[in-house]
Amino acid sequence: MTVLIVTDAWHPQVNGVVRALEKTIEQLRASGTHVELVSPDQYRTIPCPTYPEIRLAMVRYATIAARLDALGDRVTHVHIATEGPLGQKVRRYCRRKGLAFTTSFHTRFPDYVAMRSWCPADWVWPLVARFHAAGARTMVATDRLGNELRTRGVKRLHRWPLGVDTDLFTPDRAPHPLLADLPRPIRLYVGRVAIEKNVEALLTLPQRGSTVIVGGGPDLDQLRARYPHALFLGPRFGEELASLYVGADVFVFPSRTDTFGLVMVEALACGTPVAAFPVQGPLDIVGAKGRGMHGSRRPVGALGDRLGAAIQHALKANRADCVAEARHYGWDRCTQAFRAGLVPLRGGTVEALAEHRTPIDFPAVPERLAARTAASF
């Protein structure tokens, strides 16, 4: 079994998509599955407009097609993880050859485009839905996300829950010394420092204790200058990141646009309760009542429309309960679910692909823009 995984999100990017793919590939290879990877670091790249940390691969379709032709029958399954330039080209190749492939939906790309440009999300969603609907299956982290995609026309869905490395993220680790002398409680954020993450919802809260921001992104310098009371540490990794989770009193996840939020599970694994808004992602991890999703009788965090109040409630959670909840997110289970969702290249799903060759109805978009954007798919 050889799986070709195609992703436009890869190192040096630091985000949940990269971590999920990295751990899945690691687990697949450890179990004897051969993995071929198509990623931006293998080609010339340019910075993504408004987000230079993301590198977009500049490669011709003919180059990708020649590479896949050379792999021949060695590849048994194709999984396209992202909707970027590489994902689009491999999707095009598979459709031309009549080969089945799977996709996964990780990021609310239409919403991010709307936040960073004049283009409404409703103009972009039909294109993203069309991209995924052509696959034999689309993998999603939660049932809630799957239900949303169904309303947008993506019907063949497979649950691929994400996980956490419980050997790395553990409460037994010593707290980071940088946090030792900070006023308590320590409110920690880990993730991209970008508009779509809504970090300012945390930074603008009345100050009690300390606020620590871990991560890089296009808004880092701006927010560091605007909110000098907060401690901005930039990106941190591995054991150092785990020690920051352990040393915090509460993990705050202010994003309203994430599909999952892997950092919340990492925080719980270190014994740190989570506070967030009651939106997709937090609802699927912390739960509407703050008791997680696996039968805990006591809270592992708190959700609320008033983020400050959610933080105060989350601080009352027991750290041992947080750790117990996170143990349900082992990567071995996640990888088994990923493997179960794969479809053989020649698995008899060409008929299903044909259902999506007809044009979709676009919202009222200027004709020139619609034609130019649709052509890229």
Instruction: Record the pTM.
Output: 0.86
What pLDDT, in 10s, does the model give residues 123-166?
A: 889 999 999 999 999 999 999 999 999 999 999 999 999 999 99
Report residue 89 as tokens.
Answer: 């080209």
- The CATH class of 2-163+334-375 is alpha beta
What pLDDT, in 10s, does the model give residues 264-279?
A: 999 999 999 999 999 9
Backbone angles phi, psi at 249, to 5 degrees: -90, -30
Q: Does domain 177-328 have CATH number 3.40.109.10?
A: no
DSSP 302-322: EE-SSHHHHHHHHTTS-HHHH
Model confidence at 347, pLDDT cuts 50, 70, 90, reads low
Closest to 231 (Cα-Cα) out of 209, 250, 201: 209
Closest to 373 (Cα-Cα) out of 128, 41, 149: 128
What is the CA 325 to chain-centroid distance, rounded?
20
Give the pLDDT of residue 168: 96
Give the pLDDT of residue 353: 41
Would the CATH topology of 2-163+334-375 be identical to that of 177-328? yes
What pLDDT, in 10s, does the model give residues 298-338?
A: 999 999 999 999 999 999 999 999 999 999 998 988 999 99
252 sits in which H/E element: strand 250-253
Spell out the domain ranges in the chain: 2-163+334-375, 177-328
Give the pLDDT of residue 356: 40
**Could you tell me the end-to-end alpha-carbon distance of the chain, in angstroms, rounded to an integer?**
29
Alpha helices in the chain (DSSP H): 16-30, 61-71, 85-97, 109-116, 121-133, 143-151, 200-203, 220-226, 238-247, 262-269, 282-285, 307-314, 319-326, 331-341, 350-354, 367-375
